Amino acid sequence: MNRRRFLTRAAASAALPLASSPMQAAAPTNAPAVPAGDPVGITPETIAAAERVAAVEFTADQRAPLARDLASRAAGYRDTRREPIPNAVPPALGLDLRAAAGLASATGVTGTSSAWTPPDAERPTTPGDLAFLPVSALASLLRSRRISSRELTELCLERLRRIDPALEAVVTLTADRALRQADAADAELRAGKWRGPLHGVPWGAKDLLAVRGYPTTWGARPFREQTFDTDAEVVRRLDAAGAVLVAKLSLGALAYGADWFGGRTKCPWNPALPSSGSSAGSCAAVAAGLVPFAIGSETLGSIVSPCTRNAVTGLRPTYGRVSRAGAMALAWSMDKIGPIARSVEDCALIFASIHGADPADPGAVNAPFDWRAAAPIRGRRVGFVEAQFAAEGEWRDAYRGALETLRGLGVELVPVEMPKIPGRVVSTILSAEAAAAFSDLTLSGEIDDLLAPRPSNWAKSMREARFIPAVEYIQANRVRTGLIKQTEELFSRHRVEVWVTPAPGDHLSLTNATGHPAVCVPAGFAPVKDQPAGSPRRNATAITFHAPLFADDRALEFAHAFQRATRWHEGRPPVS
């Protein structure tokens, strides 16, 4: 890194002009004298200006003795920045959801893969029909050897090559790896060895997951040639389950939006719209029948939002239930990894193979998972926020229809109130952690090259975050502790097992901050305005089921019952 550029950027980001910077050179001749031994020119006047950024106010007498100490701190900041810190290194702090919510620890891990029995599925007569089968049906065909993993993998690779130019969802095809895995899966299946429902099933990885031998680009131009000599833990677990990785799929640059260095990922239901982000490629590829399932990640809506846009199903697990080792870090205390698929059942089967503690991720924990596909929901209590479902607009009928479906399934709908998030608590936490994760990129100026020559929203955001005081970040997390407890108590206070919301809304900020699980399922379609009658283009919406911490299986049970009653998830988009 060019040292002069580094120091100049550092000065601008910290609002503390260096002696060698243009800002310092242009100071007026009547500027206050720099205190002896102060290399950065901090004066009481500098402090007074900085107070406005930090929303505090000191007196002149209080400012005077601060200058030298703040100058010393600034020098220390520069020393710290000289230490190379890879993105994968987390801070020596952690989010303990159980402690915050007052829950007991859990040590056992159970899953559904070994107990699950594949349904009796018929082989479709056309490749297009085969491409849209859920994982549950593919597992039946593969185990009974009515289809081979090689055949299924070649079908996915062919569709990825042929259809992706219309979607821009693929960053890298992993064809050689995929065909080796498919052949190995077929050999095991011929020998009578069945690893479970994912054995031989192709899948796609959001390109923030490291895969040995292939680029891991994070969707950003500065990292387009980046490689790692290891696989992400979730990739290893899917390898162990016998799944076949066929592609690395797009994400918005550094997990923001649908724009990446290769273009803008489009929604297969309405290609005039972006796929939403940041799991843009994962959702578009599943929706278009390019892969049976994919892995996405969410920090503040990156599974729920594109699942809604693309009419696919997604599980955003409880924070810490899936290891993030080998995944790009954006915000260590908010990042979550989860499955995206055609159905709730598929998400449950995938999650059973990837959840659990991992020594390489201090935030990953063990918790029981006992999902039952046939669990009855009649007579059980479901919370809902009345104002969200009473809102007028394009999706009024879809959201009210969702409530009527639940009533028809025999649940008792109970009005609930979500905890209110004060101020900018969530954005303070996310912005500060993201700015730390990509500090070098910001200070070097390379943050401006993420989408070059197009601008990126990250550049402004990460520079702005340099002005968040450490005290305010800690205070935001203390408020967050209260939010975790309040959200967990919502279930017991209203005696509800889950609560349901329209997919977009304030709950995304709340539950991403508190770490509560969510299952997003399609809930309806609407015609695209100004399209001719009969146009296959549609806009989609969804609802989301929220459960208590570590009760991911409960959210899946209710979502599965809703999905079987509605069947919105069975549609096929025009770009497919």
Going by C-alpha positions, the residue among 211, 229, 231, 128 that lies closest to residue 171 is 211
Q: Are 382 and 374 in contact (CB under 8 A)?
A: no
Partnered with residue 314 across adjacent β-strands are: 340, 520
Residues 21, 278, 333, 353: which is the catalytic one? 278
Going by C-alpha positions, the residue among 548, 479, 478 that lies closest to residue 106 is 548
Q: How far is CA 305 from the centre of its chain?
A: 9
CA distances to 90, 449, 451 from 446, in Å: 22, 5, 10
Task: Tell which phi-psi region holds residue 90, choosing left (phi > 0), alpha (psi between -120 and 50) or beta.
Answer: beta
Partnered with residue 336 across adjacent β-strands are: 298
Q: What is d(CA 501, CA 252) in angstroms, rounded to the nearest whole number?
A: 26
Cβ-Cβ contacts under 8 Å for 478 (sequence gap 6 or more): none
- Token pair 């810490």 in the structure block, residue: 320
Whether the bond into 274 is cis, omega within 30 of 0: no
CB atoms within 10 A of CB 206: 31
Residues 13, 149, 275, 302: which is the catalytic one? 302
Buried b or exposed e, range 299-314, using 16+ CB within 10 angstroms? bbbbbbbbbbbbbbbb
Q: Are 149 and 135 in contact (CB under 8 A)?
A: no
Residue 206 designated active-site: yes
Q: What is d(CA 203, CA 156) in angstroms, rounded to the nearest whole number?
A: 9
Angle between helices 425-437 and 507-514 (to 10 degrees): 60
What does the chain come to in residues? 576
Cβ-Cβ contacts under 8 Å for 427 (sequence gap 6 or more): none
Going by C-alpha positions, the residue among 501, 503, 513, 499 that lies closest to residue 551 is 499
SS3 content of the chain, % helix, strand, coil (to 5): 40, 15, 45
- Catalytic (active-site) positions: 206, 278, 302
